[in-house]
């Protein structure tokens, strides 16, 4: 039994990979930065010695690299994944009318197309097995427009739409689909934040919610998880 987690070198992806390995899963993880990814893999192996860990550096904005990662995972693990976590993404604030040309395309490639291509690579096997759970890491920006959201918000709205559509397609085939939409989490996206740390959620909070959603009975699914800091969104 194994899980795939993208964008797993730090933040939410790392917390999810650590949690699933601790719960007995083998894990296939990827991220763009090879050094940070290897550090995550080393930490997982130390904390969960029984877990098999496949860690490959991947540019998730490159379709062919995404498909090559999928092929490597299939060679390593063979069967369909129990869990697929589409977490890879980049956050760049900016207004639509001020962004440089091509910015939306770059954001879409990482924040949406990576999830689309990787899911398409594994969903036939999950469908045939009549089990499995796809988690897409969306955002509160998937639900509510805000100033300076720009292309980031556009891509997150699109990822939520992808999740909803996939859920409808898979619900008769035993494959669950859940979108997780966190607000401010203490990750690299909030580097430089000079407020108190208790204004931000922890990556482990998101990992815990994912694990809780996964552990429902076969006849139940949480379609969308919306998470915010207890004191509300940050402006």
- State the catalytic residue, choosing from 2, 113, 152, 214: 152
List the structure tokens of 61. 């904005």
Sheet holding 133-137, edge to edge: 53-57, 26-31, 2-6, 83-86, 133-137, 176-182, 224-227
Written as one string, the DSSP assignment of the chain is -EEEEES-SSHHHHHHHHHHHHTT-EEEEEES-HHHHHHHHHHHHHH-TT--EEEEE--TT-HHHHHHHHHHHHHHH-SPPSEEEE---------TTTSPTTHHHHHHIIIIIHHHHHHHHHHHHHHHHT--EEEEE--GGGTS--TT-HHHHHHHHHHHHHHHHHHHHHTTTT-EEEEEEE-SBSSGGGTT--S-GGGSB-HHHHHHHHHHHHTS-TT----EEEE--TT----
CA 56 – CA 32 distance, rounded (Å): 9
Q: Is 152 tagged catalytic? A: yes
Q: Which residues are catalytic?
A: 152
């Amino acid at each position: 039994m194994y899980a795939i987690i993208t964008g797993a070198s730090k933040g939410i992806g790392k917390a999810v990979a650590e949690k699933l390995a601790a719960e007995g899963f083998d894990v296939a993880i990827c991220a763009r930065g090879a050094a940070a990814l290897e550090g995550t893999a080393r930490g997982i192996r130390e904390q969960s010695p029984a877990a098999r860990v496949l860690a490959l550096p991947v540019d998730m904005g490159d379709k062919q690299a995404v498909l090559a990662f999928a092929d490597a995972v299939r060679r390593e693990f063979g069967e369909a994944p129990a869990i697929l976590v589409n977490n890879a993404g980049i956050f760049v604030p900016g207004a639509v009318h001020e962004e440089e040309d091509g910015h939306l395309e770059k954001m879409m490639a990482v924040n949406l197309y990576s999830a689309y291509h990787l899911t398409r690579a594994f969903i036939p096997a999950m469908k045939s097995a009549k089990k499995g759970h796809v988690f897409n890491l969306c955002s509160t920006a998937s639900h509510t427009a805000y100033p300076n959201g720009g292309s980031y918000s556009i891509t997150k709205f699109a990822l939520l739409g992808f999740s909803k559509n996939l859920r409808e397609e898979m619900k008769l085939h035993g494959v669950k689909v859940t979108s997780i939409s966190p607000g401010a989490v203490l990750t690299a996206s909030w580097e430089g934040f000079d407020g108190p740390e208790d204004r931000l959620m922890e990556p482990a909070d998101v990992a815990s919610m994912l694990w809780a959603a996964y552990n429902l009975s076969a006849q139940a699914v949480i379609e969308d998880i919306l998470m915010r800091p207890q004191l509300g969104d940050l402006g």
